[in-house]
């Protein structure tokens, strides 16, 4: 089996250069890296990370901690992070804090502290002071996705701003009877996503001099079924029926569209619906949305954590960019059409 010296001889470089090129640690020009990679491939050489970790103290492994994998957002963040880590030659270890009673405590107090990681990425976790101290005791670079952790680089979107933008879109079309379906308790456990997006909605309504009818603000399970049930209740009374609904997530919005159809209402002729996320289903249902690219957030977090591992400074990212996607689910209310 070929060794690192064989690759060095084949590429015409030193063994140290081969090590730097294959591990990603240290400065190597792009042309030299390509030459080393080509030589390694030709010889069938695969670097032993177990051996290299003994010399470097690196495990080539990054831990990702999140509250669950069942939701679309978490799955997409994980997809983006995993892809970026593979490209960088790193493994990923997943820690699911919401899998069962005591799992969160076990992850923070025990598993992360076994020193089998080079860095940690947290996703949508709000930590107590004690939990934050436990995380920092790992003594590895940390990057947060989905909200700020004190003293930690964070990848996050402007939840209040994009919620106000979504509501403002409906107002600009001429809607004044605008309802809101937010997330339920599962969204409130960590970064209060449901409450934050409701704040944006209420601010936009207030700025426009609009007051929602009692009962026009509802919460739903974070799913199509949850959105369907909440929207069915909102739309059940024709005398106080809204002409538009801002949903805190695309899955809820798709449920609202299906509820409207079930009641014989047309979207957008009788009801406009807008969501947030950029879910894959949005294009199928013609959903107007604000895409937050969770895959991009995952990849950005990996780029940041790799920079921290190289001892490079990571500045404040500001807010992660979002994209307003206008489709066919929003239009001027029927009473304003010529």
pLDDT of 187 > 60? The answer is no
| Residue 288 buriedness (CB in 10 A; 0-12 / 13-18 / 19+) | buried
Percent of the chain with pLDDT over 90: 51
- Superfamily of segment(s) 61-156+294-309: Response regulator (3.40.50.2300)
pLDDT of 93 > 50? The answer is yes
Asked: is 159-291 a CATH 3.40.50.2300 domain? The reply is yes
Q: Do domains 4-56 and 61-156+294-309 have the same CATH topology?
A: no
Q: Identify which has the larger pLDDT, 114 or 151.
A: 151
pLDDT of 50 > 50? The answer is no
260: tokens are 């409207």
pLDDT of 98 > 50? The answer is yes
pLDDT of 319 > 80? The answer is yes
Q: What is the pLDDT of residue 60?
A: 87
As a whole number, mean pLDDT of residues 4-31 equals 79
Please indicate, yes or no, whether the overall pTM of this predicted structure exceeds 0.75. yes
Report, at the CATH architecture level, how domain 4-56 is classified: Orthogonal Bundle (1.10)
Please check whether residue 84 is in contact with residue 27, taking contact to mean a CB–CB distance below 8 angstroms: no
Which range scores top for mean pLDDT: 40-49, 91-100, 298-307? Answer: 298-307
Q: What is the pLDDT of residue 34?
A: 87
Q: What is the pLDDT of residue 243?
A: 96
pLDDT of 190 > 60? The answer is no
Please check whether residue 235 is in contact with residue 257, taking contact to mean a CB–CB distance below 8 angstroms: no
As a whole number, mean pLDDT of residues 249-272 equals 96
87: tokens are 């490209």
Q: What is the pLDDT of residue 163?
A: 96
248: confidence class by pLDDT, cuts 50, 70, 90? very high
Q: What is the pLDDT of residue 189?
A: 53
Domain ranges across the chain: 4-56, 61-156+294-309, 159-291
């Amino acid at each position: 089996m070929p060794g690192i010296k064989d690759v060095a001889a084949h590429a015409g470089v030193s063994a140290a250069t081969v090590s730097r090129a294959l591990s990603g640690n240290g400065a190597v020009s792009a042309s030299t890296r390509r030459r080393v990679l080509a030589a390694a491939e030709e010889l069938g050489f695969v670097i032993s990370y177990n051996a290299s970790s003994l010399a470097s103290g690196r495990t080539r492994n990054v831990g990702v901690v999140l509250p669950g994998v069942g939701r679309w957002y978490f799955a997409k963040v994980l997809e983006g992070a995993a892809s970026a880590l593979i490209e960088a030659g790193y493994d990923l270890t997943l820690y699911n804090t919401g899998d069962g009673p005591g799992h969160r405590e076990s992850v923070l107090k025990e598993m992360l502290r076994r020193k089998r990681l080079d860095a940690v990425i947290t996703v949508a976790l709000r930590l107590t002071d004690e939990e934050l101290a436990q995380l920092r005791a790992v003594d590895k670079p940390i990057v947060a996705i989905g909200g700020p952790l004190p003293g930690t680089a964070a990848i996050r979107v402007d939840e209040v701003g994009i919620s106000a933008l979504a509501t403002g879109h409906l107002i600009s079309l001429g809607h004044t009877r605008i309802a809101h379906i937010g997330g339920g308790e599962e969204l409130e456990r960590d970064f209060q996503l449901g409450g934050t997006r409701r704040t944006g909605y209420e601010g936009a309504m207030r700025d426009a001099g609009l007051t929602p009818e009692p009962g026009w603000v509802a919460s739903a399970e974070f799913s199509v079924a949850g959105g369907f049930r909440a929207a069915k209740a909102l739309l059940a009374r024709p005398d106080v029926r809204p002409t538009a609904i801002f949903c805190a997530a695309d899955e809820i919005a798709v449920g609202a569209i299906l509820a409207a159809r079930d009641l014989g209402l047309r979207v957008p002729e009788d009801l406009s619906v807008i969501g947030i996320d950029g879910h894959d289903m949005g294009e199928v249902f013609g959903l107007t949305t604000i895409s937050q690219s969770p895959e991009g957030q995952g990849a950005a977090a990996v780029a940041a954590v790799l920079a921290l591992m190289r001892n490079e400074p990571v500045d404040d990212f500001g807010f992660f960019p979002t994209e307003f996607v206008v489709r066919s689910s929003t239009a001027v209310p029927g009473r304003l059409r010529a």
